[in-house]
A and B are shown apart, each in its own frame.
Chain A
Amino acid sequence: DAGITQSPRHKVTETGTPVTLRCHQTENHRYMYWYRQDPGHGLRLIHYSYGVKDTDKGEVSDGYSVSRSKTEDFLLTLESATSSQTSVYFCAIGARETQYFGPGTRLLVL
């Protein structure tokens, strides 16, 4: 987890509210990723970034948006949270082909 922090680490929210998760890195890596992990589905890519202001969709991007205004921060926003977005969210940074993961954020949408 060195060099990558996620905030908050735990969050409980209500259906319909906006939620923003933050990923912060101190490694100056170009590539950053957001995943969600659910039982039976493994890790699934939501969005990724290949540079400041350069982002693209992953496998499960519906209902999520991202922003990257500076190298060190990658924000994931749930515009209007739904119960199906209850999950553990991991941020990762990329060094060549290898990815380094943050500690995760547990999100519960009631």
Chain B
Amino acid sequence: SQKIEQNSEALNIQEGKTATLTCNYTNYSPAYLQWYRQDPGRGPVFLLLIRENEKEKRKERLKVTFDTTLKQSLFHITASQPADSATYLCALGVAGGTSYGKLTFGQGTILTVHP
């Protein structure tokens, strides 16, 4: 069956360090992968999208890589700040037909950045 796993339920790092979150998937051929941020009591917020034919995407302090051979995405936050503390979700999407835009989410990783 299709499965999406985010490497750890919780990740604790010191301010200024780089946070690296992992998303692995099996039995899935996604057309694209996304990362979302969710704060307590709020809905997820879109951060980055990377397509199957792309290796890397960057946005300010965020970087996403996508390896379809390893079936893995890495999400990096450089120079992390306490304000980056949140739950981060990866999501896989397929292309075409009525399933267009339909996402399957991982369980999320709770990131805590300590001052």
Q: Which residues of A contact B (CB under 8 A)?
A: 1, 31, 33, 35, 40-45, 48, 50, 54, 56, 58-59, 90, 92, 94, 96-104
Contacts and interface: CB of A to CB of B under 8 A. Distances in A.
19 contacts: A1-B43, A33-B103, A42-B106, A42-B107, A42-B108, A43-B89, A43-B91, A43-B105, A44-B105, A45-B104, A54-B98, A58-B102, A92-B43, A94-B101, A96-B101, A97-B93, A99-B46, A101-B44, A101-B45
A63 B48 CA distance: 33
B43 A97 contact: no
A50 B99 CA distance: 8
Contacts of B105: 35, 42-44
Minimum-distance CB pairs A-B, first 6: A101-B43, A42-B107, A94-B101, A43-B105, A31-B101, A98-B46
A94 B44 CA distance: 13
Contacts of A48: 102
* Chain B interface residue number, banded: 20 to 34
Nearest to A93: B101
Interface of B: 32, 34, 41-46, 49, 89, 91, 93, 98, 100-108
Contacts of A102: 43
Contacts of A42: 89, 105-108
B102 A45 contact: yes
**A contacts with B: majority SS:** strand
A44 B102 CA distance: 11
A96 B101 CA distance: 7
B67 to A, nearest CB: 19
Contacts of B98: 50, 54, 56
B44 A97 contact: no
Given A1-B43, A90-B43, A104-B42, A40 B107 contact: yes
